[in-house]
Structure 1
Amino acid sequence: MPRFSVIVPAYKVQAYLHTCLSSVLEQSFTDLELIAVDDCSPDACGTIIDEFATRDPRVRPVHLNENGGLGRARNAGMERATGDYLIFLDGDDELTPHALRAIAGRLAATEDPDILVYDHARTFWSGETVRDVRAAQLTEEGKQPFRLDDRPGLLKIRTVGWNKAYRREFIEREGFTFPSGHCPDTAWTYPVLMASETIATLDRVCVHNRQRRQGSMPGAESRARLDIFDQYDRLFTYLDDHPELAHWRPALFRRMVGHLSAVFRGPGKLSHDDRPEFLIKSRAHYGRYHVPGGVPAPSREWLRHLLVRLGSHRAYRTLWVADRVRRGTAALGTALFRGVRAAALRLHYWVQRLLPVRADRAVFSSHGGREYGCNPGALEDAFRAHAPGIRTAWIAAPEHHHTVPTPTRKLRPDTAAYWTALARSRYLVGNVPFDRRLVKRRRQIMVQTQHGTPLTHMGLDLREHPATARDTDFAELLRGADQWDYCLSGNRHSTLVWERAFPSDYTTLEFGSPRNDVFQRATSVDVARLRETLGIPEGKIAVLYAPAHRAYRRSQRSTLDLERVLRRLGPRFVLLTRAHHAYGPPLTPQSAGRLIDVSEHPSIETLCLASDVLVTDYSSLMFDYAGLDRPIVIHADDWETYEAAHGTYIDLHTFPPGAVARNEDELIDIFATGHWQGSRSAQLRAAFRERFCPYDDGRAAERVVRHVVLGETAGLPTVVPLDERHPVPSAADSPPRSLGSSSTEDPVTLLLASVSSSGVSLPTVDGF
């Protein structure tokens, strides 16, 4: 008995069926049967199914003698299914990589519920992929599993059969089958959800739902849309037969009204001749199934209810026009207000530029108004420590204000206070260009901190790589560089790159990377506390996995099968995944407690301190991590492609920071053999560290402040030689020590508190 029976009906999808069936058979979870149903398709679907069946014994072909529609084809597949769970997939859609593994893991974690609801994304012919806007309903927090009464928001999820896994025993016990007709999912989804005793959710995209490029609806298919009324008749008949579910009537009535209005208003869904009949039937269904509580309070949905209730398109259009006029008037008022406000701010900025520059003011920004952190965060902390006469301010959106230290003034972008600070502050410190409307004054000093040592091409060098450069305005880029007074550099390599890629008349300060100062000042106790707050079990080896973004991929999902890697490495290892915002690796219970997603963690320095080894491909994090003198492993499975698309300054195969793997198996072998921490890896890391971390001795920020603010050119803190530096060791190299009771505080707060007496600066950063 397989775990899954994947049922794929096929009718006129010959162009997509290969991809669909392959997406099932190539899953990393292999305990499945694929029941492919040829719904008497007039094209080559039946032949394609038979070809797959001859190549893979898991494929069970079914050929129907006549076309019966989607519901009948699915029912034919269910009759032959033997798996624990039923999964439906349309013939032009596809499963995402490792989807079945994630589903299987979630089912095990929630003790085999009747239904597991998972997410999907729409894929358009243009190549765009858009996740469902109702994904928030699939949160895995709270009670698991649950009943629909506990999470009624699930009714807002699309009423389709292919975004759920169904326990076959439950479906057979309740006697559920798909109805006939054009819209069988409506009369299937709601009864199944209401009848189930246990439901669970999986917050992961498991299906790519193809959106075909097509014109208006042909007449025959438009007529088929009228089947929706029969489907709602079946749904409310089911409620009549199950009086214990009567409390769902108001909600289902609202869903019906929304569905009917969406079909009527949707472009190309109904032909012109069918629209009057559709409205007449809609009005009849409104009167037939209306119940107290079924009409929502006045909101943006009131017009939809009037459309269905009145059954008059003319009245609907009249009310729609009136509502549009009302909204247009409000929008015009808002636009006028914004225009007046913008003009007032421009005037305010102009007036402020006429006033003297304040020598005791400094304003900082990181990544255009994000969290407090990166090099600007380290310098802001150093300003307060070494130039206490300077009053500092931090530019950040309101949702990031909680990350800014209490003594630092918080500035919201595009406010009067923001423009005052930009106009009158002596020091402007940031790691990306400031507001392009900024006019730098003669007495102002701008410090460009950058945000890491460059591996890929930057600045003007991107002109040779249009896929990465995209819409870069190189004239604006040079105008911004012309405003710099100082540009920070962590090493000679960075100095040469910055001065070539951003040619202008600034002074390069080759003093080191301020954000890495904490690596030399934190203690083993700090590391142990950070690991505890991240949930890393004592005695485990924590691997930080931080892949880089690739401009040439539409999908940014990692090519590594993280579950397989963890299984092969064994129980000694824990994996911290620092994914790009578009990655989202699955967290499944086979590795519960060992696969920790830290993609949203605000401080990359914290994660570096807590880990024992870094695994990356082309992230510039490797240059910072080398300052910790901890093992680094490179997973370069597409180096040639990456180099061609992005351009690189360094060949990682020739000059790596540690062991290099060309594929997943080699990566596993590097850890299995201990090569990741062997003598050869240590030699490579030492050479890499000598080249790229010559000044990262814990006092880089102090050197910058003393030179830029205090005007010191001689007597700056002497750089500590590499062999005399002692970065905090990893937990694997430190003896265990008691930490007392566990804390639920933020790890950054903990570390700041624990090392404040020694003057440690711990900025947060999300800039890799």
Structure 2
Amino acid sequence: MISTQEAERSDAPRFSIIVPAYGVEAYLRDCLDTVLNQSFTDFEVIAVNDASPDACGEIMDEYAAADPRVVALQLQENVGLGRARNAGMARARGTYLLFLDSDDTLLPGALAAIAQRLADTGDPELLVYDYARTHWDGRITPNAKRKVLADSPEGAVGLAANPGLLELLQVAWNKAYRRDFVERWGFEYPHGYYEDTPWTYPVLVAAESIAVLPRVCVHYRQRRQGSILHSTSRKHFDVFEQYERVFTFLDAHPEFDQWRGPLFDRMITHFRVVQNSPGRLPEEARAEFQATLQSYADRYRPAGHTAPARRSASGARKAVAKLPAPLRGAARRAVRTARQVKAAPRRLKKPVRSVVLKGYYRAQRMLPVQNDTAVFAAYWNTDYSCNPAAIHEKLRELAPKVKTTWVLKPGSRNTPPPGTNVVHPGSFAFWRAMARGKYFVNNVNFPTRVVKRPGQIHVQTHHGTPLKRMGVDLTEFPIAQGDLDMKTLVRRVDRWDYSVSSNSFTTAIWDRAYPAEYRSLDYGYPRNDVLVRATAEDRRAARAKLGLAEDATVVLYAPTHRDYQGVPAPLLDLEHLAARLGKGYTVLSRAHYFNLDAPAGSAAGEARGIVDVSKHPSLEELFLAADCLLTDYSSLMFDYALLDRPMVIFANDWEVYRATRGTYFDIHVESPGHVVETETDLLDVFLSGRWSDSESTKLRTEFRRRFCEFDDGFASERVVRKVFLNEENVPPIALPPERPTPRTRG
């Protein structure tokens, strides 16, 4: 049934979908795309930016400019999820209200199914539909209470005919609400944690007609970080006030007294979930929480009401429950370990050296952490380079008293400066350094066996801006994931205290690809300081070192690795390219470090006009020497852009690469230069001079504005001052006029 007011507004959409957002720029595009790509199109999206400190507001404005169905509502101050939803409701015009959290997604066909079910059941006041949980490791788990939906009556009924709906998760986004019903009752969301509780229960109780759709319409993202359920805070006491609102509603409507008993049981169950969930309550607040729980139980227990019997715990669980709170976690782990040992087969003895090393490492961890020590590594211990090397050099300048150790395999291209302790991975010296070091800096990860001790600080610098999918985002791409174990990965990521980023795009990607509680250092990449500060003399010196003619046009060819190739194979006939370019050109061929044993082009060795620089010790020198970067999907493009020199993208296998590796954006849409797909077009770009034309300059300028956001030549100093010197007021980012000042994060 549609109200008279709604009938008069024939231009109103069927659905108003309200999407509030705060701090979720890594997920917001996915969320909005799943709505806008629905087959059912009669809707409006009201995207509410709750004064988010990241790019959520800009993303909403972008979508609103591109699609008239999207309304971007920019709040001037952060008001919290509940009030942000209220702001969206105030702007809604649709017959039905739907809510979607900005890190969740709609499944294809969901809106069509919802619309059809509403029509089939006579436009009920409420429609409840199903969801599934999507986990960071790629698992999808069904709603544990899905049987409630499957067993629901066929038509639209009141709660009395389907009381099992009270057992469902208390969320806003698994329902479609007829807007005139919401407005007639004056329902609004309150502020604070658990804001869905005093909305969900009154809505279910008050609705005279509730239909059910036992179809999964929403994927509910289970993030490893960023959820209130993972936070330790007194804000969890908000659950009491939220249930007080539920019973205030019942007090005002005695016609619903029959629901006092069931809602009392739901309240007590919810309180106990909060109380018993590890990590939610501060330890010093647990007694107060129990006392408050008891007072609410005494206040709201209906006369003569008997709570349903609780499931009896096992002997082990009972014993654990009697322990003091600080000991319960360790006791639970001990019980689990005992069960695993009992069930596991007898293991073979490991080599004696491994056993001795483990014992040595364990013994070293019993000694104090040495506060004036730092351990560095890069590229799986193969080189002294990249961001860790740049930080190391700046650390020696600003804090020379810090003793530094580098983890290096024999035969690395570069070696640390004199005075640096060098240890081989897996040696006794290595495990001593890992046990007793204070600071740890790496652009990949230290071994899984490394135990992070209290007081130790881990800095993850990464080694590029991600065009390709990374981390847990690879779960959808098994070829690229290979033998990477996601649970092992996140255990390593959990050790990070800091993650270095070169732009806000990258910050958002790391947030979703490496889900953990670390602080992003939006400082720029330390390895790029030398590029930002480079002079014409640096260019001349780099070319002279490589023996390049001053008047030669130097093209650096640096392709990335292909996961889908079992054996690396060239995708470009480099010898043919060099021959056609002629004497005025020199091509520097740089193979990806994964492919050093394979040729970068069709020539097995150096040909006329080609110089193999795959083992050259300094990538930055190659950048300085080159007039143009020829690459495909390599992250080198983001660094080279700092020199403001032309780039050409050879994307001859784009569809295969995107299907097997996955990418975060389309290189044809956001490119630093001309994109070509055939060798004929590649030759034409160079021989015609288009590689350095005005269009190339325009593309490069836009690319720099987005992806060179934090690099101003002082990234290394900022990292050292923040991490090693513990300074909060690090030098601010100061960019040249052609690159606007970056957004600050809260």
Kindly indicate whether the alpha-carbon contact (under 8 Å) linking 1:371 and 1:404 is maintained by their aligned counterparts in 2: no
Deviation at 1:666, TM superposition (A): 0.8
The answer to whether the aligner puts 1:385 opposite 2:397 as a matched pair is yes
The answer to whether the aligner puts 1:687 opposite 2:699 as a matched pair is no
Map Cα deviations across residues 606-636 of structure 1 (whole Å, 9 max, x no partner): 2111111000011111011111111111011
The answer to whether the aligner puts 1:574 opposite 2:586 as a matched pair is yes
Q: Identity of aligned pairs, percent? A: 47
The answer to whether the aligner puts 1:662 opposite 2:677 as a matched pair is yes
Map Cα deviations across residues 237-263 of structure 1 (whole Å, 9 max, x no partner): xxxxxxxxxxxxxxxxxxxxxxxxxxx
Kindly indicate whether the alpha-carbon contact (under 8 Å) linking 2:372 and 2:403 is maintained by their aligned counterparts in 1: yes
Map Cα deviations across residues 126-185 of structure 1 (whole Å, 9 max, x no partner): xxxxxxxxxxxxxxxxxxxxxxxxxxxxxxxxxxxxxxxxxxxxxxxxxxxxxxxxxxxx
Query: What residue in structure 2 maps to residue 450 of structure 1?
Result: 462
Kindly indicate whether the alpha-carbon contact (under 8 Å) linking 1:690 and 1:722 is maintained by their aligned counterparts in 2: no
Query: What residue in structure 2 maps to residue 717 of structure 1?
Result: 731
1:339-738 to 2 correspondences below 5 Å = 339-400=351-412, 403-580=415-592, 581=595, 582-584=597-599, 585-587=601-603, 591-592=607-608, 594-714=609-729, 716-723=730-737
Deviation at 1:587, TM superposition (A): 4.6
- Evaluate the alpha carbon distance shift between residue 706 and residue 416 of structure 1 in structure 2; reply closer, same or farther with a 3 A threshold: same
Give the Cα–Cα distance (whole angstroms) in 1 for the partners of residues 411 and 584 of structure 2: 38
Deviation at 1:551, TM superposition (A): 1.4
1:747-758 to 2 correspondences below 5 Å = none
Matched to 2:462, the amino acid is Q
Q: Secondary structure at the match of 2:445?
A: coil
Matched to 1:723, the amino acid is P
Give the Cα–Cα distance (whole angstroms) in 1 for the partners of residues 443 and 467 of structure 2: 17
Map Cα deviations across residues 549-574 of structure 1 (whole Å, 9 max, x no partner): 11112342222221221222221110
Deviation at 1:586, TM superposition (A): 5.0
Query: What residue in structure 2 maps to residue 33 of structure 1?
Result: none
Deviation at 1:588, TM superposition (A): 8.1
Kindly indicate whether the alpha-carbon contact (under 8 Å) linking 2:556 and 2:589 is maintained by their aligned counterparts in 1: yes
Give the Cα–Cα distance (whole angstroms) in 2 for the partners of residues 554 and 417 of structure 1: 36
Give the Cα–Cα distance (whole angstroms) in 2 for the partners of residues 591 and 347 of structure 1: 54
Deviation at 1:690, TM superposition (A): 0.9
Give the Cα–Cα distance (whole angstroms) in 2 for the partners of residues 605 and 651 of structure 1: 26
Deviation at 1:591, TM superposition (A): 4.6
Kindly indicate whether the alpha-carbon contact (under 8 Å) linking 1:489 and 1:511 is maintained by their aligned counterparts in 2: yes
- Evaluate the alpha carbon distance shift between residue 616 and residue 372 of structure 1 in structure 2; reply closer, same or farther with a 3 A threshold: same
Deviation at 1:603, TM superposition (A): 1.9
Give the Cα–Cα distance (whole angstroms) in 1 for the partners of residues 413 and 661 of structure 2: 34
Give the Cα–Cα distance (whole angstroms) in 2 for the partners of residues 401 and 610 of structure 1: 19
Give the Cα–Cα distance (whole angstroms) in 2 for the partners of residues 402 and 670 of structure 1: 36
Matched to 1:349, the amino acid is Y
Give the Cα–Cα distance (whole angstroms) in 2 for the partners of residues 477 and 503 of structure 1: 10
Kindly indicate whether the alpha-carbon contact (under 8 Å) linking 1:614 and 1:625 is maintained by their aligned counterparts in 2: yes
Matched to 1:510, the amino acid is D
- Evaluate the alpha carbon distance shift between residue 530 and residue 351 of structure 1 in structure 2; reply closer, same or farther with a 3 A threshold: same
Q: How much is the aligned-residue C-alpha RMSD, in angstroms?
A: 2.1
Q: Secondary structure at the match of 2:374?
A: strand
Kindly indicate whether the alpha-carbon contact (under 8 Å) linking 1:487 and 1:507 is maintained by their aligned counterparts in 2: yes
Matched to 1:515, the amino acid is R
Matched to 1:638, the amino acid is D
Q: Secondary structure at the match of 1:452?
A: coil
Runs (5+) with no aligned partner, structure 1 = 1-334, 726-768
- Evaluate the alpha carbon distance shift between residue 370 and residue 583 of structure 1 in structure 2; reply closer, same or farther with a 3 A threshold: same
Give the Cα–Cα distance (whole angstroms) in 2 for the partners of residues 661 and 390 of structure 1: 49
Matched to 1:522, the amino acid is A
Kindly indicate whether the alpha-carbon contact (under 8 Å) linking 2:605 and 2:612 is maintained by their aligned counterparts in 1: no
- Evaluate the alpha carbon distance shift between residue 349 and residue 678 of structure 1 in structure 2; reply closer, same or farther with a 3 A threshold: same
Kindly indicate whether the alpha-carbon contact (under 8 Å) linking 2:448 and 2:491 is maintained by their aligned counterparts in 1: no
Deviation at 1:385, TM superposition (A): 1.2
Q: How many residue pairs align between the two structures? A: 389
Deviation at 1:530, TM superposition (A): 1.9
Kindly indicate whether the alpha-carbon contact (under 8 Å) linking 2:552 and 2:585 is maintained by their aligned counterparts in 1: yes
Q: Secondary structure at the match of 1:432?
A: coil
Q: Secondary structure at the match of 1:399?
A: coil
Matched to 2:587, the amino acid is L
Deviation at 1:401, TM superposition (A): 8.3
TM-score (norm 2): 0.50
Map Cα deviations across residues 174-230 of structure 1 (whole Å, 9 max, x no partner): xxxxxxxxxxxxxxxxxxxxxxxxxxxxxxxxxxxxxxxxxxxxxxxxxxxxxxxxx
Give the Cα–Cα distance (whole angstroms) in 1 for the partners of residues 631 and 660 of structure 2: 18
Query: What residue in structure 1 maps to residue 44 of structure 2?
Result: none
Kindly indicate whether the alpha-carbon contact (under 8 Å) linking 2:705 and 2:738 is maintained by their aligned counterparts in 1: no
Deviation at 1:473, TM superposition (A): 0.5
Deviation at 1:679, TM superposition (A): 1.1
- Evaluate the alpha carbon distance shift between residue 573 and residue 646 of structure 1 in structure 2; reply closer, same or farther with a 3 A threshold: same
1:34-183 to 2 correspondences below 5 Å = none
Give the Cα–Cα distance (whole angstroms) in 2 for the partners of residues 470 and 620 of structure 1: 20
Deviation at 1:638, TM superposition (A): 1.3
Query: What residue in structure 2 maps to residue 199 of structure 1?
Result: none
Kindly indicate whether the alpha-carbon contact (under 8 Å) linking 1:615 and 1:633 is maintained by their aligned counterparts in 2: yes
Runs (5+) with no aligned partner, structure 2 = 1-347, 740-746
Q: Secondary structure at the match of 1:483?
A: coil
Matched to 1:398, the amino acid is P
- Evaluate the alpha carbon distance shift between residue 705 and residue 724 of structure 1 in structure 2; reply closer, same or farther with a 3 A threshold: farther
Q: Secondary structure at the match of 2:372?
A: strand
Give the Cα–Cα distance (whole angstroms) in 1 for the partners of residues 365 and 472 of structure 2: 31
Deviation at 1:348, TM superposition (A): 1.7
Map Cα deviations across residues 497-538 of structure 1 (whole Å, 9 max, x no partner): 111011111111111011111112333223222212222223
Give the Cα–Cα distance (whole angstroms) in 1 for the partners of residues 401 and 455 of structure 2: 18
Deviation at 1:484, TM superposition (A): 0.5
Give the Cα–Cα distance (whole angstroms) in 2 for the partners of residues 486 and 679 of structure 1: 40
Q: Secondary structure at the match of 1:410?
A: strand
Give the Cα–Cα distance (whole angstroms) in 2 for the partners of residues 504 and 665 of structure 1: 46
Give the Cα–Cα distance (whole angstroms) in 1 for the partners of residues 413 and 558 of structure 2: 26
Matched to 1:647, the amino acid is G
Moved over 6 A (4+): none
Kindly indicate whether the alpha-carbon contact (under 8 Å) linking 1:587 and 1:596 is maintained by their aligned counterparts in 2: no
Give the Cα–Cα distance (whole angstroms) in 2 for the partners of residues 413 and 672 of structure 1: 48
Matched to 1:391, the amino acid is K
Kindly indicate whether the alpha-carbon contact (under 8 Å) linking 2:413 and 2:615 is maintained by their aligned counterparts in 1: no
Kindly indicate whether the alpha-carbon contact (under 8 Å) linking 2:423 and 2:430 is maintained by their aligned counterparts in 1: yes
- Evaluate the alpha carbon distance shift between residue 655 and residue 354 of structure 1 in structure 2; reply closer, same or farther with a 3 A threshold: same
Deviation at 1:477, TM superposition (A): 0.5
